[in-house]
Chains A and B, each alone.
Chain A
Amino acid sequence: MAMQKKNQFVWKRKHLLGLRNLRPEEIEHILDTAAGFEQISTRSIKKAPTLRGKVVVNLFFEDSTRTRISFALAANRLSADVIDFTKKSSSVSKGETLLDTAKNLEAMGIDTVVIRHSAGGVPKFLSKNISSSVVNAGDGFDEHPTQALLDVYTIRQMRGSLKGLKIAIVGDIAHSRVARSDIWAMTKLGAEVTLVGPPTLMPAAVKQLPVRVSYSLDDIIEELDVINMLRIQFERLGSNPFPSVKEYSHYFGLTVERMKRAKDDIIVMHPGPINRGLEIESEVADGKNSVILQQVKNGLAVRMAVLFLVNQGAAMRQKVKAKSQKRKA
């Protein structure tokens, strides 16, 4: 049934920079495509020839294990050549500028750049300056679109649809690219999203986002269908957004005690890596409601879909361009 929808829709984008500007049907199309790819991972030969001859570069300027490996594996399964480039620095450190790095890679004939960077806007910046497809693997506090896609994919897998579901995203919203992408993806697919966390970790204009805000997890825990726990980012604690981790856990941690008041079938998510015992207790993270590992598994299918689609979008643009050039000639 998913495949039927897919046939009616033509994907045209060459880049995946974020979800904010995507239409709901575009998001659904990625999910449908991912569903098609999911079964490849269950075959004995886990490979499809879809991107044979294409080159994908993983350009990671920030630490990442799961996202980088997931993208590499996704590209491998589609038979693309994959190059990993990890450099924990940026132009601030006065080395080669980002633009120079990207242009050099482009000169070697790269089809797709998967970029992770600590500065928001870098994927957009690259997309304007190089001719390869650009996939955002997380930029600053801006977006992390494939994480949100795998989140909604997982929810859809469990519930069939996000329409009308009550979802809470809990934690450091201000410094979370996952939260931003989740907000766009979940609300576009019809869920009601509530952001939960201390006011000091809410972004400036949170009231203008299409969400509700709550400073009390206890107030809303009972009504939730899905709860997505963000990790405490210790590197942000320097600005002292809350008095102590202990106090934070007390108000915003997902404890066994709190889970007793939640719906029986509440879906518990976490983008990882988990701080066990801080934002989520081990028993909950490993409990029957947790889909944390399912999320990781689905990430692979979603990233295969994204890599496939942006290459398709690039090819389509190439065709249109060639046609118009022919006409001019």
Chain B
Amino acid sequence: MGDLLIKNGHVIDPANNIDQLCDVLIIEGEIAEVGEVSKSCPKTIYAEGKLVVPGLIDIHVHFREPGDEEEETIVSGSNAAVAGGFTSVVCMPNTDPPIDDATSVEYAHRMGRQARKTHIYVMGAITKDRAGEQLAEMGFMAAAGAVGFTDDGTGLQDTAMMLRALKYTSMLDNVVISQHCQDNSLAGAGVMNSGYNSTILGLPGIDPLAEEMMLWRDIQLVKKTNMRYHAQHISTANSVELIRQAKAESLPITCEVTPHHLLLTDEACSDYDTNHKVNPPLRTDKDIAALRQAVAEGLIDALVTDHAPHLQSEKELEFLAAPFGIASLECALGLYVKALISTGVIDWPGLIRLMSTDPAKIIRVDKGTLGKGKQADVTIIDPKAEYTVDVNDFKSKSKNCPYNGWRLKGKVDYTIVGGEIRYSAKENAAAN
């Protein structure tokens, strides 16, 4: 494995309180030195004006393998991930069949290793077949390397089952229970946020309460079990309040937000454009303001994509019939810059903390840091570069992206995984 020197970049490493111009030396795939490196290296990246940060980590993606390989595979998803600057991703278990046993966890890991792009982590299902009726073999899955458990795609409806899952997993090390908070009895057949826009469009709505009720319920269960719990993609102002209270009580609760819930409202559905059909649904300006405020206050622990690829032919349906989901892995960084940095909500170190340092803590992996001796996962970002999102350039197999044509700032130059350059914007442009 060759050595690599990153020269004169602006290094931001929140884990080690570094925010300064300096060099990063990588030897044998590990961080050897961060500071002024005097020795030269045959392989050197000159990073003047660029940000050099611990590799970005997205703890919520859907790579559709096995089962829906026409939408995404672990290979195509991995290519998309490194193009987006992500050196690690966590795949959700709602594949077909779902990832609900150790063999499936190992399969995803193996496909990830073969893809040789980004680190692939997996959350297993809490219940067998994600059916909510019987606990899946979470012990075996944890032993196989699953970083957590979730029935994502849906929330675990049965309260007693959820309590049992939290109790049981509290005996396992380093795993987290992660929940798509949505009470199905309230969400019903809803396809968008319940409010003025669903009223005038005549589309069945999903009441914000559907999310808040389950989040509230789970917080009560966490109080009882003290098991680590992660609330996925929170989307409403009241969810923020629930998280605020839970954190004030020092409960072991973390949460994440997506770019779409920080940038888009349910008004975007008024054209019946199914690329805006997503679950949880796009909410209102008030919710966006509350979520941004939560980010500013440090209530949010991770910025994720919930990258949910779907075929164009599936999305080109009636709004009622089209599947939920947005593919945004490749433009996520620019979206977060737009939502949070350009608006002054947080600065770059704050963003890197939420896109690398803190997500690593949630899934308990020794990443999100440029500490000496750590595996060299590094992302180099050009913070001033502007570009136009073009879904045709996506490595992802799917193009269901409502940001197509958006002008964004903040571009990934290099994605380095284990000391190897796995993505280079320059080479990518030359190849196109």
Identify the closest chain A residue to B313 (Cβ).
A97
Identify the closest chain A residue to B203 (Cβ).
A120
Given the known interface contacts A91-B321, A92-B321, A124-B272, the answer about A97 and B205 at a Cβ–Cβ threshold of 8 Å is no
Considering the chains assembled together, what is the distance between the CA atoms of A90 and B272 in angstroms? 17
Is there contact, CB below 8 Å, between A97 and B319?
Answer: no
Q: Which residues of B contact A139 (CB under 8 A)?
A: 202
A279 at the interface (CB under 8 A from B): no
List residues 165-210 of chain A with CB under 8 A from any CB of chain B: 177, 180, 203-206, 208-209
List residues 193-211 of chain B with CB under 8 A from any CB of chain A: 194-205, 207
Is there contact, CB below 8 Å, between B199 and A209?
Answer: yes
Number of interface residues of A (CB under 8 A): 29
Q: When the two chains form the complex, which single residue of A97, A120, A206 contacts B202, counting CB atoms closer than 8 Å?
A: A120
Number of interface residues of B (CB under 8 A): 23
Is there contact, CB below 8 Å, between B199 and A205?
Answer: yes
Considering the chains assembled together, what is the distance between the CA atoms of A121 and B200 in angstroms? 11
Identify the closest chain A residue to B189 (Cβ).
A239
Q: When the two chains form the complex, which single residue of B196, B207, B271, B317 contacts A97, counting CB atoms closer than 8 Å?
A: B317
Is there contact, CB below 8 Å, between B202 and A205?
Answer: no
A140 at the interface (CB under 8 A from B): yes
Describe B's contact surface by its main secondary structure.
loop
A278 at the interface (CB under 8 A from B): no
Q: When the two chains form the complex, which single residue of A119, A177, A203 contacts B199, counting CB atoms closer than 8 Å?
A: A203
List residues 174-202 of chain B with CB under 8 A from any CB of chain A: 188, 194-202
List residues 100-135 of chain A with CB under 8 A from any CB of chain B: 117-122, 124-125
Given the known interface contacts A120-B272, A124-B272, the answer about A98 and B318 at a Cβ–Cβ threshold of 8 Å is yes
B346 at the interface (CB under 8 A from A): no
Is there contact, CB below 8 Å, between A208 and B199?
Answer: yes
A28 at the interface (CB under 8 A from B): no
Is there contact, CB below 8 Å, between B318 and A119?
Answer: yes
Is there contact, CB below 8 Å, between A97 and B198?
Answer: no
- Contact code string A68-102 (vs B, CB < 8 Å = 1, else 0): 00000000000000000000001110000111000
Considering the chains assembled together, what is the distance between the CA atoms of A221 and B100 in angstroms? 60
A252 at the interface (CB under 8 A from B): no
Considering the chains assembled together, what is the distance between the CA atoms of A97 and B272 in angstroms? 16
Given the known interface contacts A91-B321, A98-B318, the answer about A125 and B272 at a Cβ–Cβ threshold of 8 Å is yes
Closest 5 CB pairs of A and B: A121-B272, A141-B202, A119-B318, A142-B202, A205-B196
**Interface of B toward A, CB cutoff 8 Å:** 188, 194-205, 207, 271-272, 313, 316-321
